[in-house]
Amino acid sequence: MKKNKIYLSPPHLSGKEIKNIKDAFSSNWISSTGPYVKRFESDLAKYCKRASACVVQSGTSAIHLAIRLLGVSAGDTVICQSFTFIGSCNPVVYEKGNLIFIDSEKDTWNMCPKSLKKALEDCKKRSIMPKAIIVVHLYGMPAKMNEILKIASRFNVPVVEDAAEALGSKIDSVPCGSFGRLSILSFNGNKIITTSGGGALLSDNVQDIIEANFLSTQAKENRPFYEHKKLGYNYKLSNILSSIGVEQLKVLGKRVKKRRDNHIFYYNLLGKVNGVKFLNEPSGYFSNRWLTCILVDKRKCGISADKIVSKLEYEKIETRRLWKPMHMQPIFKEAKFFGNGISNVLFENGICLPSGSNLSPEERKRIKNELIKIFSII
């Protein structure tokens, strides 16, 4: 019998999005303006407890706008978490800035506050204070934002919060997407909610968002003809895709619950296996568990992360290695790095398991059977 592929994190539509799409079509609001754009921005700002939001075509374009708003230009320095997707730091390169990468800590796998402090002290000594710090909440687990924000404030450097993977996550009931000068979200097809492709920039400074909207619509001046004094972009999210986002945001709570249920499923199955470790929530933290991840100690398990990925791929079960840190990437080989190599270890030993909110009982059973074989669970 032919097996269907089990995907790592497929889109999960509620079915109600089609009503909004039809409404947008019938009203002829299909471009980068319209009532659903405004509504989606308003709903996101309210959910994340921000003053205002600007919806754009991707999380990366939202970070690019944040970098522009903070005045990053050629030769400027930006500090970024190393253990992340390349979209977190590419916009700095777009603006010809210089990157300094910061290692992870073991509790959340995100930016290490101690390494950040060392980097900022080094920057101060060399009189090249960074224009921004980009912090990422990986796999839905919030970073140590309270510590990071205190350090950033001490050195007077603004923080950009990359919450692309963490919509629905919280620290002491404060939602991710509400920390720092600017926050970004992603609605890519594999995220916890999706608009097929999309992102958002959020801020408590309304002027930030006014400028972001200006830059995201080609920076056209308010004149009776097309005049441009600044370089702008065609980044604005369309009314059609925003209409999907409006409906998706309504079911975010259900999607978070299902993803957290997936985490419990895997923990119950593998939590007692010698050599397998899960990322636990620190006190006061609430993760959306966008992706459930494990660390595999080859010496104890008798099998490597690579081998597990290959075995599951053969059974048409998609998994993925954890992010390869940016300081290990050939493209950033000249960049400075502060840390102890924790992110290197995470990359070498980590696996993301299928975590879709539409993972069926039958699919769970298939995954369970294969993991039992791999880890020789009795």
Angstrom distances, CA of residue 221 to CA of 37, 56, 95, 227: 21, 19, 22, 5
Q: How many residues does the chain have?
A: 378
Judge if 75 and 198 occupy the same domain.
yes
Q: Considering the domain boundaries, does residue 176 fall inside one? A: yes
Judge if 287 and 222 occupy the same domain.
no
C-alpha count within 13 angstroms, C-beta hemisphere, residue 368: 16
Judge if 96 and 184 occupy the same domain.
yes
* Burial classification of residue 283, based on how many CB atoms lie within 10 Å of its CB (0-12 exposed, 13-18 middle, 19 or more buried): exposed
Judge if 247 and 259 occupy the same domain.
no
Of 251, 283, 298, which one is at a domain's C-terminal end?
A: 251
Q: Considering the domain boundaries, does residue 159 fall inside one? A: yes
Q: Considering the domain boundaries, does residue 283 fall inside one? A: yes
Judge if 109 and 50 occupy the same domain.
yes
Provide the domain count of the chain: 2
pLDDT at 167 (0 to 100): 98
Judge if 211 and 354 occupy the same domain.
no
Averaged pLDDT, groups of 10, the chain, 378 residues long: 92 95 91 93 98 98 98 98 98 98 98 98 97 98 98 98 98 98 97 97 98 97 95 97 98 98 98 97 98 97 96 97 98 97 98 98 97 86
Q: Considering the domain boundaries, does residue 351 fall inside one? A: yes
pLDDT at 147 (0 to 100): 98
Q: Considering the domain boundaries, does residue 5 fall inside one? A: no
Of 251, 269, 287, which one is at a domain's C-terminal end?
A: 251
Q: Which domain holds residue 356?
A: 253-375
Judge if 39 and 66 occupy the same domain.
yes
Judge if 210 and 322 occupy the same domain.
no
Judge if 134 and 273 occupy the same domain.
no
Q: Considering the domain boundaries, does residue 4 fall inside one? A: no
- In the chain, at which residue ranges do the beta strands (DSSP E only) sit? 52-56, 77-81, 98-102, 132-136, 159-162, 170-171, 174-175, 182-186, 199-203, 276-278, 285-286, 292-296, 320-321, 336-338, 350-353
pLDDT at 370 (0 to 100): 97
Of 251, 273, 308, which one is at a domain's C-terminal end?
A: 251
The pTM of the full predicted model, rounded to 2 decimals, is 0.96
What CATH number corresponds to the domain at position 369? 3.90.1150.10
Judge if 240 and 273 occupy the same domain.
no
What CATH number corresponds to the domain at position 112? 3.40.640.10
**CB environment 24-45: b (16+ within 10 A), e (fewer):** beeeebeebebebbebbbebbb
User: How many CB atoms neighbour CB 2 within 10 A?
Assistant: 4
Judge if 123 and 270 occupy the same domain.
no
Among the listed residues 45, 155, 145, 138, the one whose alpha carbon sits nearest the alpha carbon of residue 88: 138
Judge if 233 and 105 occupy the same domain.
yes
